Structure 1
């Protein structure tokens, strides 16, 4: 299969979770014998922070603007399938361009589904508009559960399927490093995540000054009052993630408000930490128990007291090992690539039937 992807970024993981998601998925997809071409808008903030400029498992091309895309129209026309991702700059226009030029199945890959639906409800059509959704043969969603039926029922998607994030098992595994922190968090600053981070990490840090904590990720405001036992790392390249997780006795998972409301919206960090056998303490949302078994493969926390109880008493090693087994068995990139292959095949069949009926 020849697959063309127009995504937010493949080359830079700075300030976004899209790059690592695409890398794991498309690397595994290419390993199944497929040809992949990824188009990325050439923007200065990613150009200054590229940590994968020349992947050896797919072609990576940069375009300057919408007009510059036209020189690649033949690539879309000759592709078996095309995927347009969420948060692509001028994504509505890019989506229309893809639907106009593609002859194979066209899918939308929403790595931000609850945020997208909240934006649509407010009339904010930054990268997707309601009229585009029926034109996509397939809606691949980071959110599963009831949201999938809603996408089909309310927005007219011909087929909405969950395609959760995944982990590259070759890149994420326990590293040979000593433990440095009792609890770590890896994630870009987000205003709606910060109250949970305050409750589940900063509050325990203030209550237990003898413990060591760390928050890694960019864009945190200067006015945050970080306790003295909370280390800050501004940016952590993906190559350093496995060592970071392994150096943590526990990893914290914090979910955005829209994704908590929708449920069934796992973060890629959840699977990455698990693959490193680092036990996870997570906030609580519907559908999490379908991914990891609470109390056995993950610890759920509603407040700082729950976090402190886990740090003081839970069997971290056993939980981490159980989470790793589950991540490799169900959430590795090889599994997601097989799902993507199946979904694109179904979408192609749907498109062929629709074309035949129209003729």
Structure 2
């Protein structure tokens, strides 16, 4: 199998970040693969209002095929078209037809076709399979040539290997510097601390612990809460301003303007570790001063106290904010930007994906 691969990719959405936290990750990986001479067709369903809330047109670096979110005809046409690809990827969490796609992809193509399961939420997928010995995906794991994961490090590799995966390889989040980069401050996002993330069941309690508790402790400071779902039935302190869904075109300004920005991992990601969210690299790419909750493996990506501030709870977040000055915030952001540009770009991630797809995973 030579360079210039034809890759078929079934995922949640490439063109819409609406209720789709994996969008930035998909875009970074797919664009970097295109830049290395590979052709990606991204198949995504018209579901959950994502097509009505697009934040980008079809890109020049991928072919986007949108199929119906109801009825099987559209997804089956996509599978038929994908069968001729060199590499066929099924991502986790498409949202509709997941079981159909998981079962179908290992059957597509010929002897040289590579079939990859790309897990963008490995802790949740593994927890589901461990909780149910009859989960249909258990028997499918060994049928894929490899499992790629959004993160998870050694614990996830060990768990997938125990379930029969032929190969498990973390492909971590990273930075696309052409998309996320420093911009001038924007008065719309002036604040002491900002958090951006959709309201999800295993994130909500941690946002309360790390973000809202810090806001209550620092009533004289201003806080911004971005992401879908926070405007309903949430008891927000008066110094917290909800922003709702924030378009990706505003992410750089939202990261760059406040004194600091906060990353709060979902509970499952924090428990496993080695799973930096996309916002870690987006914030660093914008030269923001990042405060993150603590999780194992963070020093693989950024150096605590020098390139990122680490908090055990909301009290730590509040103490970091009180100690920060505009100058110290600027220095932390500059160091983080330098580190991610040197070590954590999607171009580097794509090199590893290419090594796997054109060398280490190739059969016979």
Task: Give me the TM-score of the superposition, normalised by structure 2.
Answer: 0.91
**In the alignment, which residue of structure 2 is the partner of 1:233?**
243
Tell me the SS of whatever aligns to 1:192. Answer: helix
Q: Supply the distance in 1 between the matched residues of 2:79 and 2:261 (Cα, whole angstroms).
A: 44
1:305 deviates by: 2.3
Equivalent of 1:136 in 121, 144, 148:
144
1:125 deviates by: 8.4
Say whether 1:75 aligns with 2:85. Answer: no
Q: Supply the distance in 1 between the matched residues of 2:116 and 2:43 (Cα, whole angstroms).
A: 15
Q: Do the aligned residues in 2 keep the contact of 1:92 with 1:125 (CA within 8 Å)?
A: no
**In the alignment, which residue of structure 2 is the partner of 1:301?**
311
Tell me the SS of whatever aligns to 1:48. Answer: helix
Q: 1:239 to 1:221 in 2, by over 3 A?
A: closer
Q: Supply the distance in 1 between the matched residues of 2:358 and 2:85 (Cα, whole angstroms).
A: 13
**In the alignment, which residue of structure 2 is the partner of 1:329?**
342
1:213-237: CA deviation from partner (whole Å, max 9, x where unpaired)? 1010002262211111111111011
1:107 deviates by: 0.4
Q: Supply the distance in 2 between the matched residues of 1:300 and 1:124 (Cα, whole angstroms).
A: 37
Once the two structures are superposed, the pairs formed by residues 42-53 of structure 1 within 5 Å of their partners are: 42-53=46-57
1:193 deviates by: 1.7
1:74-96: CA deviation from partner (whole Å, max 9, x where unpaired)? 53232111111011222121122
Q: 1:41 to 1:178 in 2, by over 3 A?
A: closer
Q: Do the aligned residues in 2 keep the contact of 1:134 with 1:156 (CA within 8 Å)?
A: yes
Tell me the SS of whatever aligns to 2:166. Answer: coil
Per mean C-alpha deviation after superposition, the further-off stretch among 109-118 and 143-152 is 143-152
Gaps of 5+ in 1: 354-359
Gaps of 5+ in 2: none
Task: Give me the TM-score of the superposition, normalised by structure 1.
Answer: 0.92
Q: Do the aligned residues in 2 keep the contact of 1:292 with 1:298 (CA within 8 Å)?
A: yes
Say whether 1:122 aligns with 2:131. Answer: yes
**In the alignment, which residue of structure 2 is the partner of 1:146?**
155
Say whether 1:181 aligns with 2:191. Answer: yes
Q: Supply the distance in 2 between the matched residues of 1:35 and 1:348 (Cα, whole angstroms).
A: 18
Q: Do the aligned residues in 2 keep the contact of 1:137 with 1:347 (CA within 8 Å)?
A: no
Q: Do the aligned residues in 1 keep the contact of 2:11 with 2:92 (CA within 8 Å)?
A: yes
1:11-37: CA deviation from partner (whole Å, max 9, x where unpaired)? 210112111111111011101111110
Q: 1:44 to 1:190 in 2, by over 3 A?
A: closer
Per mean C-alpha deviation after superposition, the further-off stretch among 109-118 and 340-349 is 340-349
RMSD, aligned α-carbons: 1.8
Q: Do the aligned residues in 1 keep the contact of 2:231 with 2:244 (CA within 8 Å)?
A: no
Say whether 1:56 aligns with 2:60. Answer: yes
Q: Supply the distance in 2 between the matched residues of 1:268 and 1:151 (Cα, whole angstroms).
A: 22
Tell me the SS of whatever aligns to 1:45. Answer: coil
Say whether 1:219 aligns with 2:225. Answer: no
Q: Do the aligned residues in 2 keep the contact of 1:216 with 1:236 (CA within 8 Å)?
A: yes
1:330 deviates by: 1.7
Q: Supply the distance in 1 between the matched residues of 2:360 and 2:134 (Cα, whole angstroms).
A: 25
Q: Do the aligned residues in 2 keep the contact of 1:172 with 1:272 (CA within 8 Å)?
A: yes
1:90-146: CA deviation from partner (whole Å, max 9, x where unpaired)? 2121122221122310101111000111111222989x7111110110100122122
